[in-house]
Amino acid sequence: MGNRSVQLKPASVIKCTQLSSKP
């Protein structure tokens, strides 16, 4: 959902993943 974002801002992707993980 944000492969390109990972290269630009890996930290942002990690945060988004944690939020997405939650219901």
**What pLDDT is recorded for position 16?**
67
Measured distance CA(14)–CA(11) in Å, rounded: 5
Confidence check: pLDDT of 2 > 60: no
Tell me what percent of the residues of the chain surpass a pLDDT of 70: 22
Measured distance CA(3)–CA(6) in Å, rounded: 5
Task: Tell me the whole-structure pTM to 2 decimals.
Answer: 0.27
**What pLDDT is recorded for position 5?**
52
Confidence check: pLDDT of 15 > 70: yes
pLDDT band at 11 (very low <50, low <70, confident <90, very high): confident
